[in-house]
């Protein structure tokens, strides 16, 4: 059986995304932090890790991108998982004045929270917030999590579908020590940094245009080492072992201070 590490408690969206991604039975292993999730696979305690990297409402998960820079693991897959937030607790909605959840979930439900004038308390995980609510057992305290978490911890759902936008998806990356073979419908993720020179980023982006490669995402993150310097995270269509992509990466490398290929993997679709 495949072992997959995820961040959070049982019933977390990461765990649900992992079960959806792998067609066979898996054993999920929970960890408190994203760093521990990746470390478990690096040390062969699990075969795969799953990491949330961006949400359609709240944008990128910065901590995940920072860890992608330093990990030795390869990205071998991606998954888009629909997020359906519920307000969970023992009281009625007009009794609730305090809501617990992960900061991303609180942001994704900001309109609902503000409309009901609830105080927010950030937690380490959505499913973990259900455990907190159960232990508190206070009618004025509720949390935001999934239906699955409500069932697992046996705490009632007060309200369903409370996100700002019901078209709410989180993109997850699957990481392992393995590499994915070419499928003909692939995506590649890279990180690079550039010199502070006029046109340096343009020269890199120009390669995608010249080679007719579809660039699907570009984002910058602070380097954490030098103030106001950035790493660029880029996703594009194609596989690194394809000759055209391989040649393009060599050309890009010449104009970068640093380039890391995170991995090539089958491109996923919204489910």
Residue tagged active-site, from 6, 172, 192, 232: 172
Residue tagged active-site, from 71, 170, 188, 256:
170
206 φ, ψ to 5°? -60, -30
**Cα(202)–Cα(186) distance, integer angstroms:** 24
β-bridge pairing 186-193 and 157-160: unpaired
Distance CA 219, CA 115 (A): 32
Phi, psi angles (nearest 5°) of residue 152:
-60, -45
170 an active-site residue?
yes
Cα–Cα distance measured from residue 86 to residue 144, given in angstroms and rounded to the nearest whole number: 6
Residue 141 near residue 77 (C-beta atoms within 8 A):
no
Please give the span between the terminal C-alpha atoms of the chain, in angstroms, as a whole number. Answer: 25
Q: Is 172 a catalytic residue?
A: yes
What does the alpha-carbon distance between residue 111 and residue 109 come to, in Å, rounded to a whole number? 6
> Can you read off the two tokens belonging to residue 186?
């692939």
Asked whether 8 and 125 are in contact (CB, 8 A), the reply is yes
Active-site residue list: 170, 172
């Amino acid at each position: 059986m495949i072992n997959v590490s995820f961040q959070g408690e049982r019933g977390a969206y990461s765990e649900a995304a992992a079960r959806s991604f792998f067609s066979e039975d898996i054993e999920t292993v929970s960890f408190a932090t994203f760093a521990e999730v990746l470390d478990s696979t690096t040390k062969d305690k699990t075969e795969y890790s799953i990491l949330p990297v961006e949400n359609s409402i709240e944008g990128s998960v910065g901590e995940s991108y920072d860890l992608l820079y330093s990990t030795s693991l390869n990205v071998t897959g991606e998954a888009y998982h629909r997020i359906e937030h519920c307000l969970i607790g023992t009281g009625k909605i007009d009794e609730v004045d305090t809501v617990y959840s992960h900061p991303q979930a609180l942001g994704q439900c900001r309109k609902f929270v503000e409309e009901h004038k609830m105080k927010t308390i950030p937690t380490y995980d959505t499913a973990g917030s259900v455990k907190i609510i159960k232990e508190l057992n206070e009618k004025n305290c509720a949390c935001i999590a999934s239906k699955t978490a409500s069932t697992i911890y046996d705490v009632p759902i007060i309200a369903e579908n409370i996100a700002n936008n019901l078209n709410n998806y989180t993109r997850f990356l699957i990481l392992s020590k393995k590499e994915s073979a070419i499928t003909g419908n692939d995506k590649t993720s890279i990180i690079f940094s550039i010199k502070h020179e006029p046109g340096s980023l343009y020269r890199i982006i120009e390669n995608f245009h010249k080679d007719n490669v579809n660039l699907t995402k570009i984002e910058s993150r602070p380097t954490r080492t030098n103030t106001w310097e950035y790493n660029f995270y880029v996703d594009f269509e194609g596989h690194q072992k394809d000759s055209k992509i391989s040649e393009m990466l060599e050309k890009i490398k010449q104009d970068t201070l640093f380039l890391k290929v995170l991995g090539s993997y089958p491109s996923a679709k919204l489910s």
